[in-house]
Amino acid sequence: MPWDLIFFYIIGAISVLAALGMVASPNPIHSGILLVVCFLNVAGIFVMLGAEFLAIVQVIVYTGAILVLLLFVLMLVDPHELPSFYLAQPLQRGVGVLLGLILLLEIGAAIVTQTQFGPKGNATPANIAAMGGNVQALGSVLQTNYLLAFEVVSLVLITGIIGAIVLAVPERLGQRIGTLRSTISLGHPRGLDHPAALMAGPRNETPIVTKERKAPEPAAVRRLVMAKDPDDFTSV
Amino acid sequence: MEHYLFLIPLLPLVAFVINLLLGRWVVKHASAYIAQVAMFGSWVVSVLVFFDIRGSSDKVLEQHLFTWIPSGTFNVPVTLHVDQLASIMLLVVTTVSTLVFVYSKGYMAHDGGFYRFFAYLPLFAFSMLMLVLANNLLLLYVFWEAVGLCSYLLIGFWFRRRSANEAAVKAFVVNRVGDVGFGLGIMLTFWTFGTVDFYGPDGIFAKAANHAALGVSGGTMTAIALLLFLGACGKSAQFPLHVWLPDAMEGPTPVSALIHAATMVTAGVYMVARTHPIYLQSESALVVVALIGAFTSFLAATIALVQYDLKKVIAYSTISQLGYMVFALGTGAWVAAIFHLMTHAFFKGLLFLGAGSVMHGMHDELDMRKMGGLRKFMPITFWTFLIASFANAGLIPFAGFWSKDEAIVGAWASASSVGKLAAVVGLITAFLTALYMFRCVFMTFFKAPRFNPEAIHPHESGAWMAVPLVILAVPAALIGFIGFPPENGPFQHFLEPVFEQAPAQTTHANEQASLYTIQEPATTRTAIAAAQAATATETHETHVSTATTVTFGIISTIIAVSGIFVAYLTYITGTISATAIGARFAPLYQLFVNKWYLDEIYHNYITMPFYNFAMFLWRIVDVKIIDGTVNGVAALIGAISQRMRTVQTGLLANYALGIALGMVIIVGIYLAGFSTLFR
Amino acid sequence: MAQEPMWLTFIVAFIIMNVLLVGMAYTTWYERKVLAAMQDRLGPTRSGPHGLLQPLADAVKLLGKEDLIPAGADRVLFFFAPLVVFVAALVSVAVIPFGGTVQIGGRAVNLYATDLNVGALFVLAIGSAGVYGIIVGAWASANRYSLLGGLRAAAQVISYELVLGLSLVGIFIITGSLSLREIMEQQQRSIEIGPLHISNWFILSQPLAFVLFLIAAVAETNRAPFDLPEAETELVSGFHTEYSAFRFSFYFLGEYINMLVVSLFASTLFLGGPSGPGSEKYWGLGLVWLFIKVAVFMFFYIWLRATLPRFRFDQLMGVAWKVLLPLALLNIVITAFIRLIANGQIF
Amino acid sequence: MDNFPILSTITYLPLLGALVIFFMPRATRETSRLIAVVASLLSMIASFVMLGAFKHNNTFQFTEHKTWLKDLGVSYFMGVDGIAVLLIVLTTILCAISIIYSWDTINVRTREYYIAILLLETGMLGVFMSLDLFLFYIFWELMLIPMALLIGIWGHEDRVYAAVKFFLYTLFGSLLMLVAIVALYQSYYNQTGTHTLNILTLQGGHYGHIFQVWVFAAFFIAFAVKIPMFPVHTWLPDAHVQAPTAGSVILAAVMLKMGGYGMLRFSLPLFPDGTNYWRTFVIVLSVIAIIYGAFLSLVQPDWKKLVAYSSVSHMGFVTLGIFIHNIQGMDGSMMVMLAHGFNTGALFLIVGIAYERAHTLRINAFGGLATPMPVWSAFFVLFMFASIGLPGLSGFVGEFLVTLGTWHYNKVAAIITFCVVIIAAWYLLWLVQRVVFGRTIHQLPEPGDAALTPAERAQLAQVGDHGHGPVPTLISGGSHDAHAVPAEGQLDSTNWPDLSLKELICLVPLAILTILTGVYPKPIFDIADPSFHAVLNGAMRVIGN
Amino acid sequence: MGHLGVEHYLFLSAILFIIGLMGVLVRRNLLIIFMCVELMMTAVNISLVAFGTATDTLNGQAFVVFTVAVAAAEAAVGLGIILALSRRGKTVDVDDMHSLRD
């Protein structure tokens, strides 16, 4: 019984169905969760391909961090703000689907035509086992051939972090923690709960006086729950 | 004497430089004296040179100054070369110049640009002298144009007059047309003979003589001759390019006298004479020259007949007389042409100076219809003018008769096919010349004055002007005798070495006494008389029998007298009414009055087409086509980029769609091109 | 690591699971007893001698309670969320080695369910997968408080998972392998310092890592000072406010199993797992030692719960990112240097 | 003395001046112009010294050879031969004169102005001296920028359009040249395996026919734009009209020679086959340029445009001379280049002087300037006759030699070329007539003038005979206010000052040079001839001392 | 049934990729699009690893490590942007976001 084939078909089917569900589901949370399912299956595929480390990385990084963040944001966005499921420009979307199908056929054809592969490397399963498993082998390759890339990727991650901070954290919150004197301001509107305590905005910006703060926001402007001043919600 | 040759042109040049640079502030009125002294010095040297050359039969003086253009084989030295022909020309130029300088002192006395005038005149003299002294074709060309420059400056002297300046420009441009022909001729000679020098074993003349041996075709010789002749026409105001001379009368009269009568206009004749070996090689060239000469003389004579402007009449008469010289050259009568040139220089100069003093007296009034009866007011001017008229008409004792007659005889007896025709035309023109000369004399000096005496008080001009008139009158009357007896007078013998290959003259006379009238002290005049008396009788066979010369002499006298008589009848007694004849031959009369419509033809069929073509080139080709394309390309790029802008819709979906489309295409290409799918 | 037949692994796995479930039950009892003792009271005494049957009683209560689903809840997710937590907690025990390969009845039996060469990471991965149970559960119960609890849990777990992972890197550098069995074996060898023969536990060579690991582990299981997600005072009971009876028990069980697994994991990594004086000869003695170590850890949990006040949320996040993470990185750097010096690559 | 880097001193003296001014931020107009004049004069004197020390043979003298970018094969290689020496002297003289001329005419941003001009001078000198294509190209581009600035900043009304057009035209050309240089560099490398851009060694390589044809074409376009030749000349009139006087003097007198020099230095020796291939094409273009330039100058209402088109015509002679491929043609082209430098440079100075007073370039705004400004008129007539090609002045020798050479090549072309001289006389004399001669606004028409218009006759009658009547009202609509520039009529030039000392200093040397080269051009021939012989028979040039 | 060759994995990754692509093209919710992008990234990872193992080299897997890192960074910044966008009061609807165009 070719267990691997069976396992492959099962996992493959689940992941494809999950992916389809993710695209088609009206409720974003459901699509989020379906994506989690899909990614877990993909981790399974990685294991079948012998890349255990990648499977674990897939689980920890993708499902563990990125999708959690995604769900995080999904939950923060009030459901009624979400756009209607139905398509705004049918023609455009129709063409999109058509293109997708054509591309699928093309890639299928490409796979079928069996292009020749490059020269066989020396990382046969036997060598990997000799080195003590996929993790050790991959570790050694990473540290030797791809050392530069490894360093550069660390830079990419750092920029990612800084980017996230700059974009997501509104100043005001920064101040309340008290430790953070000033943050990188992108000119977000700066709320002011009590004028005395808070220091003026960045040098050139005039502090928003309390009067402004109380100005009722026009109804049309719908606001994000979390971005609002948490004081509205927690009594701590 | 070679070492002092450079003095002749140098003196006027020095006078020019002094007058030009210092004239306005330092020299002022003294500039006249400087010019006159310089000219006289140059005249003295010329006379010395003449006597030196006359001493030995084929003596030639040459002085090399410096090399002008050493460009590979085209090596142009600046050397002065004097032979018999050149010495005669030197004498003529310097004599007339000196006299005109003296005359101008009086004439231009109270003119604003006095110093400027006396700067330009020596410059002209310098260029003319250098032109005569030049030993190679290019140097001749250089001073050919320099003379054109001076005529431009002098014609346009009163620059505030628009007509004067237009005339100057016209003169220069027409001359320039001729000069272009001349230049092209030089180039052709250079490339055929490899050198531009006249003389010497490998000079142009030597090579021209045996041009067949050198493999130079007859056609080239004709081409060279004709091109050079085009230059001559431009300068000596022959038929196609003569239009500038009448307009040149805008300049001050001394200028007309010096330049447009005596010297510059004769440069063309001199050049043809100088390069006669080339002309001898091509029969057709000579025919052309003769025809042009004849036609021009007839044409000018007809127009002169109907002119009312005193100076214009004399100008046209100059063109006519030049016509004589040219057809004399054309028919091979080289010596006759030069002889006529010399005599013409004197009596035509006198005529102009006379006209100048008339103008002076009549407050710059030139229209003959407003003159009359000036005999009583300016006796000297009258008598000198009369002598000059007789000479010009060609009456027996006067200079004009001998030279003109010899030209006609030479033409008649010459081997050239058109000789006979030229001679006949010459005779007709002689009649017309006599007619219009005496029409002009009778209208200005006889009958009742046709101006109101209160406004204009004609008076005899001052000493400065009168003395030159008298001095010039002498050669105008007597110079003819140096060519007596016709064909083998002392003048002919003197010029023999220059023209010895000339077929017409094969005689070989021995030296004879000098034959020139020398101005100034009376003693010299007596020397001339002695020379004439002692005309040597020598045996020389001349192909022209004395009988023909005598008959022609009688014919031309008859013609001259009849011309004068007809003029007497119309303008003095009034038996023939000029207006009636004019009316009867109206179309002919209109033709002559409008100067054969030549000015209009040139303007409408040459100047304007060029101008319109230029305007077309600028407006259409430059602005529209070339600039148009350049700016057009810029505008096109702007338009394209404007259209491209609309592709950016801003919708994220569109961009994603674009990317997807890109993917599809790329994979498609891969499949089609590189994969084994379709193979 | 002998290749044993499939069914033997199943048996061992089954035994481990049951031990775990029973252990979990008695942890609840153990916790209530110790807590009570700390608060100078008796704790459960009536249900069986010293309240030993109390877990059974709880189980019966939970099963009996009415199982209601909130109106706006997302029924499907509401049902699956607790299961995810429970299953995740259980699965992570598979890699923990309870001993080497021993001969039982003439057959080589390895006292662990499986030995992945990414064992340690596997535990982390399953831990992070477990978070989904909480988040989805919080969202599915359509209650704002539970939602906030869920979000806090998500944030907390992500941050502390990072610290957890990095603190273990020190050990991986020393052992050079990720598989727990390998790590356990490396700790068996004893090193002689002078007269003493101590087995080379990593707690000795990685003290800082051990402390960081403990703090992160506590936070990971939402226990004691880090139990903001189900902070009773503010959010009623956090993400599982809407859960009742049976579904709540899964959360409740999951939490305790997590605690057990983490303490097992800690003892394997830092205290050499089943190693102790005399454990080489008798594998049974090894298990006993392991049991004692786990008990100590459990006591530490409970002790924490009894004494320390709850962290404020931003302090919680601040501590993770600004204190623990730098320390973990520092530890990695130091161990790496020591390892290089040991290999002689630097001097 | 022989190893003293005379060439570098000449080239970098102006640059030194520019730097000095640059590093004096508060330099006033007086100090910066003083420095500029001193720098350019020194450079001129140095060039005279070089001229003196130049030995009349066809070798490259005063060479300086230092390797610059070794692996690229680029060396700092400077040297001059007969052709370059003359053009360098011309450049230094003209630059000195134009700097002196802008003594008091430029009073806005003077500091930058002098820096720009000095940089321009260095650029031009560098072009003439560099024997390394790389160095040549650097100087070639260097001179482009200051010139564009000169036109763009200190020019007249729509100077920006002119500057941009000038810049784009030349840049387009020089980019093609860059491609050609690279092609040459590569093909030489393929042949001999050594990287070099040194012209003398490049001459050694033998390049395929097709290659030569194309590379020649690329070089040719760059030089054709610079000369400018017929189809690509439209930038010149605009650039001249808008450029400040000094700028347009330099542009006309020197920058137009770059093209000609480039052909003599690069195209002819390096690509003999290319030259033969393109010869007829270039000759036809040059003849067209000569005719076209002459005809267009005939009808230009704008004074500077007229002179600009006349320089297109004159430069046609240069290219014609170069491509005739006989010694007369070559000598002629060099003479035309020098003569054009003096004459047109002087003409632009004269136009500039007139512009200072009239503030307009419309020809019919002038008239009868001989009365208020006699000395200026004298110079103007002198230079006008020089550029007509009157023998005895510099213009004639060059033009005659070129036509003589052309005659040998093709009679029809020669005839056409020489006939254009008539049109040249026509438009220049007509210009002089309209500007210098004739009457100023307040002068009475001359009674004897035959060509009086009826209006003038009426005015004459009204004034009466005694000729001292009241000053007539202005006939042709000129306005009393000298500064107001009426669109149409003639300006009131009665109280325009004649030449100032500065203007005299600028014009007199040019006049002397024009007359000198006209009367006694022998020294120029002695210097240039050997080099031309070398270029003609493609001899391998060797380094002299 | 044939043994499990590399084509199977490639087919799977192709399908997932297309689904992701269609999601991006079709859906209007920025977050869903974001998820689809993540899906496309994973699909590519699968094919990378598949090729890696097929040619017995670890390059594929090393590469995937880097893509995952980049995906993480991208997710952080992407979510940051989405938060910033939604905080400005606008919806997360893709079609309304064309302020950069004009």
SS3 track for A101-161 = HHHHHHHHHHHHCCCCCCCCCCCCHHHHHHHCCHHHHHHHHHHHCCHHHHHHHHHHHHHHH
Residue of chain B nearest E22, judged by CA positions: B660
CA C209 to CA C204: how far, in whole Å? 10
- pLDDT tens for chain C, 347 residues: list them: 456 678 888 888 888 889 888 888 888 888 888 888 888 888 888 878 888 888 888 888 888 877 777 777 778 888 888 888 889 888 888 888 887 778 877 777 777 788 888 888 888 888 888 888 888 888 887 777 778 778 888 888 888 888 999 999 988 888 888 888 888 888 877 777 767 777 788 888 889 999 999 999 888 888 878 877 766 555 566 677 777 777 888 888 888 898 899 999 998 888 887 877 777 777 778 888 888 989 999 899 888 888 888 777 778 888 888 889 999 999 999 999 998 888 887 76
Residues 6+ apart with CB under 8 A from B637: none
Cross-chain Cβ contact A71/C122 below 8 Å? no
Contact across the interface for C77 and A236, Cβ inside 8 Å: no
Cβ D300 vs Cβ D434: under 8 Å: no
Residue of E19, E32, E95, E99 to mutate, interface with B, max B Cβ within 10 Å: E95
pTM of the full predicted structure? 0.71
**pLDDT value at position A212?**
46
Reported as type and span, the H/E element at residue C21 is: helix C6-38
Dihedral sign computed on CA atoms, order D294, D296, D297, D299:
positive
Express each pLDDT in B349-384 by its tens digit: 999 998 888 888 887 778 888 888 888 888 888 889
Separation CA C222–CA B287 (nearest Å) = 131
Do E and A count as touching (3 or more CB pairs closer than 8 A)? yes
d(CA B332, CA B290): 9
Confidence band for E95, pLDDT divided at 50, 70 and 90: low
Answer yes or no: do A12 and E12 touch at CB < 8 A: yes
Contact between E98 and B652 using a beta-carbon 8 Å cutoff: yes
pLDDT digits (tens, 9 = 90+) for D43-53: 999 999 999 98
The CB density around residue E6, as the number of other CB atoms within 10 Å, is: 18
Chain A residues inside the 8 Å CB shell of C121? 53, 56, 60
Q: Do B627 and D234 touch (CB under 8 A)?
A: yes
Percent of residues, chain D, with pLDDT higher than 70: 94
Element holding B78 (H helix, E strand): strand B74-82
Touching chains, B (3+ CB pairs < 8 A): A, D, E
Provide φ and ψ at E31, rounded to 5°: -65, -40
CA dihedral B497, B503, B509, B514 (to 10 degrees): -50
pLDDT tens track for D361-398: 888 888 888 888 888 999 999 999 999 988 888 889 88
pLDDT tens digits, residue range D21-45? Answer: 999 888 788 888 899 999 999 999 9
- Give residue B485's pLDDT: 75
Q: What single letter denotes the amino acid at residue B135?
A: N
pLDDT mean across residues, chain D: 86
How far is it, in rounded angstroms, from Cα B4 to Cα D457? Answer: 54
Q: Which residues pair with B62 in a beta bridge?
A: B81
- Would the pLDDT of B504 be above 70? no
What radius of gyration, in Å, describes the C-alpha atoms of chain D?
24
From the candidates D167, D385, D400, which should be mutated to test the interface with B, based on the most B CB atoms within 10 A? D400
Instruction: Chain B: give the shortest CA distance to residue E96, in Å.
Output: 8
**Predicted local distance difference test score (pLDDT) of residue D507:** 92
- Per-residue DSSP letter, D387: H
Q: In angstroms, what separates the C-alpha of B668 from chain E's closest C-alpha?
A: 15
What pLDDT score was predicted for residue D44?
93
DSSP letter, residue C225: G
Residue A199: predicted pLDDT: 45
Q: Where are the domains of chain E?
A: 6-91
Among candidates B653, B657, B663 on the partner chain, residue whose Cβ is nearest the Cβ of E95? B653
* Nearest-angstrom CA–CA distance, A9 and E3: 12
CA closest to E21 among chain B residues: B660
Inter-chain contacts counted by CB atoms under 8 A, chains A and B: 43
Residue E76 CB contacts under 8 Å (≥ 6 apart), including other chains = A69, A160, A161, A163, A164
Residue B534 has pLDDT above 60, yes or no: no
Q: Is A199 on the interface with B (CB under 8 A)?
A: no
Q: Quick check: helix, strand or coil at residue B71?
A: strand
pLDDT tens digits along B562-618: 988 888 888 888 788 888 888 888 888 888 888 888 888 888 998 899 899 988 888
Q: Which CATH architecture has domain E6-91?
A: Orthogonal Bundle (1.10)
**Which residues of chain C lie closer than 8 angstroms to A80, CB-CB?**
none
pLDDT for A95: 85
User: Which pLDDT score is estimated for D182?
Assistant: 92
Closest CA of chain B from D415, distance in Å: 7
Residue C92 near residue C126 (C-beta atoms within 8 A): yes
Q: Is the Cβ pair A102, B653 closer than 8 Å?
A: no
CA distance B196 to C12: 126
> What is the sign of the dihedral through the CA atoms of B296, B298, B301 and B302?
negative
- Which DSSP letter does residue D228 get? T
pLDDT at D249: 92
Query: How many H helices and E strands in chain A?
Result: 10, 0
Residue B4 has pLDDT above 60, yes or no: yes
Does the beta-carbon distance from E77 to A167 stay under 8 Å? yes
For an interface test with D, give the residue of B131, B160, B256 to mutate (most D CBs within 10 A): B160
Kindly indicate the confidence band of residue D539, based on its pLDDT and cuts at 50, 70 and 90: low
* Residue A106 to residue B668, Cβ atoms within 8 A: yes
Interface of B with A in 648-667 (CB under 8 A): 651, 653-654, 656-657, 660-661, 663-664, 667
| Statement: residue B553 has pLDDT above 90 | no
DSSP D383-438: HHHHHHT-TTSHHHHHHHHHHHHHHHH-HHHHHHHHHHHHHHHHHHHHHHHHHTSS
Q: Which two tokens stand for residue A87?
A: 């398509």
Least Cα distance to C65 among C249, C324, C188 occurs for: C249
Percent of chain B with pLDDT over 90: 15
CA atoms of B216 and B194, how far apart (whole Å): 12
User: Is residue E18 within 8 angstroms of chain A, CB to CB?
Assistant: yes
Looking at residue B573, the DSSP 8-state letter turns out to be: I
Q: How far apart are the CA of E25 and the nearest CA of chain B, in angstroms?
A: 6
Contact A109 B653 (CB under 8 A): no
| Structure tokens belonging to residue D328 | 């007369």
Q: Which of C133, C141, C128 is nearest to C73 (CA)?
A: C141
- Pick the closest to residue B96 from B167, B140, B40 (CA basis): B40
pLDDT at B521 over 60: no
Residue B533: the pLDDT is 37
pLDDT tens-digit readout, E44-89:
999 999 988 888 888 888 899 999 999 999 888 888 887 777 766 6
Eight-state DSSP code of residue B70: E
User: Between helices B419-445 and B283-305, what is the axis angle to 10°?
Assistant: 20
Q: What angle do CA D447, D452, D454 make, to 5 degrees?
A: 115
Q: Which residues of E touch B660 (CB under 8 A)?
A: 21, 25
DSSP A66: I
Q: Which residues of B touch E28 (CB under 8 A)?
A: 653
Residue C107 dihedral angles phi and psi, to the nearest 5°: -120, 140
Find, among C81, A214, A119, A78, the residue nearest to E31 by Cα.
A78
Using the predicted structure, report yes or no on whether residue D214 has a pLDDT greater than 70. yes
pLDDT (average), residues B377-393: 88
Residue reference for tokens 């704008």: D302
Fold (CATH) for A3-147: Four Helix Bundle (Hemerythrin (Met), subunit A) (1.20.120)
Domain residue ranges of chain A, discontinuous segments joined by +? 3-147, 173-234
Task: Check if B669 contacts A (Cβ < 8 Å).
Answer: no
Subunits next to A (3 or more Cβ pairs <8 Å) are B, C, E
3-class secondary structure per residue, B192-255:
HHCCCECCCCCCHHHHHHCCCCCCCCHHHHHHHHHHHHHHHHHHCCCHHHCCHHHHHHHCCHHH
B452 in contact with D at a CB cutoff of 8 Å? no
How many CA atoms, within 13 angstroms, populate the side-chain half-sphere of residue A32? Answer: 24
Shortest CA gap E101–chain B (Å): 5
Tell me the β-bridge partners of C103. Answer: C108
Q: Where are the alpha helices (DSSP H) in D193-230?
A: 199-204, 209-226
The shortest C-alpha distance from E41 to chain A (Å) reads: 10
With a cut of 90, say whether residue B454 has pLDDT above it. Answer: no
Q: Are B399 and B477 in contact (CB under 8 A)?
A: yes
User: What does DSSP assign to residue B520?
Assistant: S
Percent share of chain B, pLDDT over 70: 92
- pLDDT at position A235: 42
Least confident of B396-400, C71-75, D220-224, D506-510: C71-75
Cβ-Cβ contacts under 8 Å, A96 against chain B = 653, 656-657, 660
Tokens, residue D191: 């042949």
Say how far apart CA B578 and CA B591 lie, in whole Å: 16
Return the residue matching tokens 């960074």: E73
DSSP annotation of C101: E
Q: What is the DSSP letter of B77?
A: E
Which of A203-217, B96-110, B199-213, C321-335 is predicted least confidently? Answer: A203-217
- Helix (DSSP H) and strand (DSSP E) numbers for chain E: 3, 0
pLDDT in tens, chain A (236 residues): 678 888 899 999 999 999 999 988 888 888 888 999 999 999 999 988 888 889 998 898 888 888 888 888 887 766 555 555 444 566 777 888 888 899 888 888 888 877 667 777 777 778 888 877 888 888 888 888 888 999 999 999 998 888 888 777 665 544 443 333 444 444 444 444 434 334 444 444 444 444 444 444 454 444 444 444 545 544 43
| Nearest neighbour of B664 by CB, restricted to A102, A109, A114 | A102
Q: What is residue C110's three-state secondary structure? A: strand
**Nearest-by-CA chain A residue for E5:** A5
Alpha-carbon distances of D164 from A128, B639, C92, D226, rounded to whole Å:
67, 20, 75, 15
Strand partners for D61: D80
D399 near B CB under 8 A: no
Q: Is A133 within 8 Å of C179 when comparing Cβ atoms?
A: yes
Three-state DSSP class for residue D105 = coil
**DSSP secondary-structure letter at C196?**
E
